[in-house]
Structure 1
Amino acid sequence: MCTTADESGMTTLPEISLAKLTADETRGEERQRLETACQEYGFFCLVEHSIPKKQIGQAIEASRQFFALPQSIKERYSHAAQNVYPAVARGYGPLHGEILHPEAHTDPKELFGLGIENEGDRRPFAGATRFPDEASAPGFARSLLALQATVLNKVVPQLGTALADMIGMEQGWFQRHFSPPTLMQRVIRYPARGGKCGKHTDGGFFTLVLQEELPTRSLQVWFRGRWMPVPSLPDSLVVNLGDMFQALSDERFKSTPHQVAHSGLSDRISLPFFIYPDIYTRLTSRQGRHSFGVAEMMLRNMESVAAGNGAGRAREL
C-alpha cells in the first residue's frame, strides 16, 4: 500500500497494478480494486506501469537544469512567446504566475507546459511548443517528449479503458474519444521551504503524476475531512480523477481536491499529465445528466484560472 500517516493514525492510499489491470487472469479482481479506490479516495498509486525509471530520472534532471537557467533565458520561452491557443497551455510560467485557489493568492511555483507536438495544428490546446534549444537546456525537450510517448503508449490507453469500463461506457468508448487524447503536460518546480499550489480539482478525465522520490510528503489529498499527505514511493505514480470523469460517471465518482505544500530542504520536481478527450468531442454521461463539449469545458477552466478564480471546483472548496 501507498502508506502515509497523519494525526488520526495510519491511512493508506491504494496501490493498483497496471500489469494486473491488463492481464486476463487478474483483470477482474484488479478492476474491482480500482473501483473501490476510486469510490473511496479518487486517488491511487499506480505500480507495475512499465515506465522506465531511467527515463523518469532523465526528465527530472533535465527539468531541474532548465529551471536553474537565468530568468532572462527562461522568459524567452514564456507563455507569451508560444504560438498556440490558449497561450498559457504551453511554455514557461514564472513563480507566482498562477492562482489555483482564489483565497490562496498566487502559487509559489514555476512551470513549463507542453502537449502533443503537431506543427500546424491550430485547434485549441494543440500545435507545437517553443522549447529552448539543446545548447541552452540539454536534454530538456528530448527527455520530456520521450516520457510523453511512453505515457501515451503504455499507460493512458490501458488505464483509460479500465476507467471507462468502470463507469459503464460501451466497448471501445475510450479508444474512440481519446485517439488521440488532448494532453496538457507540465513540469513544475516547487521551491524548497515553501513551494505550494492551492487546493483545487483537475478538470480532465484523469491525471497521472510522476514525482521525485523525496522524504517530504508535499502532495496532500482531501480525505474524510482532513488533508492526507501522500508519500513519493519508488517505482509508482499517482493517479487522480478529474471533473470530466465525475460528470461522465453521473457523480458516482468525485474529483478529489488536492494541494501541494512543500517544506523540504531541496526543490521538488513534479511531472503531471492531464488527460482529456479529443478537443472537438461532445460527451454525454450514461444517465444523460451531464453533456458537455471538451473544448468549451477546457477553455472555461483556463479562463477561470487566468481570472484568479481557481482551477476545477476550487470555488466550491
Structure 2
Amino acid sequence: MDTVPLIDVRALVDPSSSPQARREVAARMGAACRNTGFFYVVGHGVDVGLQTRLEALARDFFARPEEEKQRVRAGTPLHGPNLFPLEPDGLGGAVLAYMAALTSLGHTLMSGIALSLDLEADFFAARYMADPTVLFRIFNYPPGPEVDAQGLPVWGVGEHTDYGVLTILKQDDAGGLQVKTRQDGHTRWVDAPPVEDAFVCNIGDMLDRMTRGVYRSTPHRVLNRAGRDRLSLPFFFDPDWTAEIAAIDSPALKDAGADDHAERWDRQSVHSFRGTYGAYLLGKVGKVFPDLRAEVL
C-alpha cells in the first residue's frame, strides 16, 4: 500500500448506527492496520471550533519570547497536574477540553479496532484502557534547511514508531509527515498530507505486540519543507500505566506476523517485552532522556 486510506467513522460515533454499519467501518480500520498502520478518520464528531481555537492559542504561545515560553517546566516525569502558561488566556482550558474530546474519540476508535479483531467492542476499554495513559503534545516545527552541510536531511523528527496503542494527530496545512510503507518486499516513504477536518491515526508498539505483529506499528518521520512554522498536535491514547501487555487470543490473529525486530528502526522486539506499559514507556523514554529516567527511578 502506498497511500494512507481515509475512513469515515461516523457509524462508530453515532450510537444509533446499525451493528452492520459499525462492522463495515471496523473492517476498513482492520485492513488499514494490517496494510499501512496509518489511516485518516473523518466523521469523528470532534468540534471544529474547539480545534480552531486550540490551534490559534498554540500559535499565540509559540510566537511569544523564548524567556516567556521557558517559564513552564515539568515536575515528575509523565505524571502530576498539567502546567499551563498564564498567557495566552484560555490555552489551558482549550487543551483540557480537547483532551477530553479525543479521549472519547480514542475509546470509540478502539471499539472499531476490537470489532475488526472479532472481539467485543469494549474489549480494550475493559481490559487494557479503563484508565488509559493519555499524553498530549503541541509541537512547533520552525522552518529551516532541508539538508545539512553534509547534504543529509534535517529531520524535524527522525524515523520512529510510537510506543503505545493509538495516536490521533491533528496537523496544520504545512504538511511534512511521511510514512514508511511496504509493498512486494520493498519499502518506500510516502507523504501523509493534511486533509481538511481529518485526523491522522496510527497504531503503536503495544497494539503490534497485542496482535502478534498482524497490526504493525509503522515507522514515520517529519520533514518541514513549508518554509514556515509547522504545528502538530499528537494525542497518544495508550494502555493503563499498570496494565500487563500480552498477546490477544483471537481467531482473527491465527496468522501471526513475523518478529520484525531486525528491520525496525531501533532493532528492538516489541514481542519479547514482558511487563507493564508503564515499564515499557519509561524504558523507551529513558533511552532518549537518560537524566529523566534517573530522576523517576
Q: Which TM-score tier does this pair reach, normalised by the shorter chain?
A: 0.7 to 0.9
**Secondary structure of residue in 1 paired with 2:70:** helix
Distance 2:144 2:90 in 1: 27
**Secondary structure of residue in 2 paired with 1:138:** coil
Match of 1:229 among 191, 196, 206: 191
Distance 1:38 1:46 in 2: 13
Which residues of 2 match residues 255-270 of structure 1 at below 5 A? 255-270=217-232
Structure 1 match to 2:149? none
Distance 2:142 2:9 in 1: 32
Match of 2:85 among 132, 145, 157: 132
Return the TM-score normalized by structure 2: 0.79
- 1:15 maps to 2:10: no
One-letter amino acid matched to 1:83 = G
Could you tell me whether the CA contact under 8 Å between 2:23 and 2:115 is conserved in 1?
A: no
Structure 2 match to 1:70? 65
Residue 251 of structure 1 and its aligned partner are, at CA, apart by: 1.0
Distance 1:171 1:137 in 2: 40
Structure 2 match to 1:166? 116
Unaligned runs of 5+ residues in structure 1 are 1-9, 87-124, 309-317
- Structure 1's consecutive aligned runs of 4 or more residues displaced over 4 angstroms after TM superposition are 168-171, 287-291
Structure 1 match to 2:131? 180
Return the TM-score normalized by structure 1: 0.74
Structure 2 match to 1:219? 177
Distance 2:169 2:249 in 1: 30
Give deviations 1:111-131, integer Å, cap 9, x for gaps: xxxxxxxxxxxxxx3320221
One-letter amino acid matched to 2:28 = R
Distance 1:152 1:228 in 2: 28
Structure with greater strand percent: 1
Give deviations 1:202-243, integer Å, cap 9, x for gaps: 0000100011133xx300000131110111010100000100
Match of 1:285 among 236, 247, 253: 247
Structure 2 match to 1:149? 100
Which residues of 2 match residues 31-110 of structure 1 at below 5 A? 31-78=26-73, 82-84=74-76, 86=77
Give deviations 1:96-138, integer Å, cap 9, x for gaps: xxxxxxxxxxxxxxxxxxxxxxxxxxxxx332022111xx222
Distance 1:168 1:205 in 2: 18
One-letter amino acid matched to 1:27 = R
Give the fraction of aligned pairs with identical amino acids, expressed as a percent. Answer: 30
Unaligned runs of 5+ residues in structure 2 are 146-154, 251-270, 292-297
Structure 2 match to 1:296? 279
Distance 1:44 1:171 in 2: 20
Distance 1:59 1:292 in 2: 36
One-letter amino acid matched to 2:106 = V
One-letter amino acid matched to 1:163 = I
Distance 2:277 2:53 in 1: 33
Which segment is superposed worse, 253-262 or 284-293? Answer: 284-293
Q: Relative to 1, partners in 2 of residues 1:232 and 1:162: Cα closer, same or farther, differing over 3 Å?
A: same
**Secondary structure of residue in 1 paired with 2:232:** strand
Structure 1 match to 2:158? 198
Q: Relative to 1, partners in 2 of residues 1:11 and 1:223: Cα closer, same or farther, differing over 3 Å?
A: closer
Distance 2:122 2:11 in 1: 20
Could you tell me whether the CA contact under 8 Å between 1:193 and 1:264 is conserved in 2?
A: no
One-letter amino acid matched to 1:130 = L
Which segment is superposed worse, 60-69 or 166-175? Answer: 166-175
Structure 1 match to 2:258? none
Could you tell me whether the CA contact under 8 Å between 2:245 and 2:276 is conserved in 1?
A: yes
One-letter amino acid matched to 1:175 = A
Distance 2:4 2:116 in 1: 19
Distance 1:46 1:61 in 2: 22
Distance 2:242 2:118 in 1: 22
